Amino acid sequence: MLRSIVAGLLLALGNLSAQANCGGTNLLAAMAPDDLAALRAAVDAQPHAKGNFWRATRGASTIYLAGTYHLDDPRHDATAEKLAPLIDTAAVVLVEAGPAEQRKLQAAVAQDPALMFLTDGPTLPEMLGEADWQALSAAMRARDIPAFLAAKMQPWLVAALLSIPPCARNYLQHKPEGLDTRVIDLARASGVPVRALEPFDAVFTIFDAMGLERQLDIIRTTVAMDGNAEDQSATMADLYFDQDARAIWELGKLMSYALPDHSRSAVDAEFAAMEEVLIHRRNRAWIPVMLGALDQGPVFAAFGALHLSGKDGVLALLEREGFTLERLDL
């Protein structure tokens, strides 16, 4: 499930999109009872583990919070219809990356190919070694990406591409149509300003902070789990629409325990480090942006649902700022 984390991040920044008629089977249906119980216990141990939509109030200030799923899904239509009245009454809509940030990101990539590709130094085959490179090459070919091109990609970009299952080969050909895009479209149609929670180049800062070796480890782990990529994608979507997004993270950890040469303590440490860089650090940076926007009136904030829960999730951080939380039944 590292694929879901990395995919969500890149999709939020408007760099990739995925639209496909993927099938897949929900992995929880065949999970052993003990494993399912362990998953539920891990989820229940986290604050605000369930629920995609919330209202945070402090005095006369109100922030509506929508945890989003970045991939296209027809189930978003009903959700967007229910969110529309809240967006209409907001003074500002905050998203991970708005249209302006997406344009800046695209311009930066066009001007500097090194942001996306290895323009000097070792290539991926040299960094990964023969066995891992052959496994990666096969996974990329399944996504219609030739090995010679993959060899020169930045590791974080390869990890992002691997996060999209082979059944979604047309991911580069379409505008993203996840819930984030629907929120932006609704806001613009209503004349509500759309602003970004973070700068356009956040994706590069995030992966720089992760370091090269961790990026390579993500590639190795994702390739090792690629055999049921379509099932993982289906499970992720089902968990989101069940308003159980925290289980996506905890399931990824549980699945990683079963991989060869992955001790439980090492997996726990790696997931903690990943959560800090990919989620917690960004959450803490977003809170001042949300609070600053309240000067204009009610705020509607939409971002990946994995950012809501946990001890350093957006909801817990707002509680520490004196907000009262209410889960919305949407």
pLDDT digits (tens, 9 = 90+) for 220-242: 988 988 888 888 888 998 999 99
The answer to the question of residue 279 being in a domain is: yes
Tell the residue number behind the tokens 């790696």, with chain if given. 270
State the DSSP code for 24. -
Pairing of strands 61-68, 53-58: antiparallel
Q: What is the pLDDT of residue 161?
A: 85
The answer to the question of residue 241 being in a domain is: yes
Q: What are phi and psi of 154, to 5 degrees?
A: -60, 140
Q: What is the pLDDT of residue 311?
A: 96
**Least confident among 117-121, 139-143, 163-167, 262-266:** 163-167
The answer to the question of residue 247 being in a domain is: yes
Cα dihedral 208, 277, 181, 58 sign: negative
> Is it the case that residue 21 has pLDDT exceeding 60?
no
User: Which residues, including other chains, have CB under 8 Å from residue 144's CB and lie 6 or more apart?
Assistant: 169
pLDDT tens track for 112-141: 999 999 999 999 999 999 999 999 999 999
Instruction: Tell me the residue range of the domain where 9 lies.
Output: 2-17+29-317
Q: What is the pLDDT of residue 171?
A: 52
The answer to the question of residue 212 being in a domain is: yes
The answer to the question of residue 178 being in a domain is: yes
pLDDT tens track for 82-94: 999 999 999 999 9
Confidence class for position 16, pLDDT limits 50, 70, 90: very low
The answer to the question of residue 62 being in a domain is: yes
Q: What is the pLDDT of residue 210?
A: 84
User: Which residues, including other chains, have CB under 8 Å from residue 53's CB and lie 6 or more apart?
Assistant: 64, 65, 66, 67, 83, 327, 328, 330
Q: What is the pLDDT of residue 228?
A: 85
In which element (H, E) is residue 65 found?
strand 61-68
Q: What is the pLDDT of residue 20?
A: 47
> Is it the case that residue 8 has pLDDT exceeding 80?
no
Q: What is the pLDDT of residue 147?
A: 94
Mean pLDDT for the stretch of residues 94-121: 90
Task: Flag whether the pTM goes above 0.75.
Answer: yes
The answer to the question of residue 181 being in a domain is: yes
Number of domains in the chain: 1
pLDDT tens track for 200-210: 898 888 888 88
The answer to the question of residue 292 being in a domain is: yes
On whether the CB atoms of residues 299 and 290 are closer than 8 A, the answer is yes
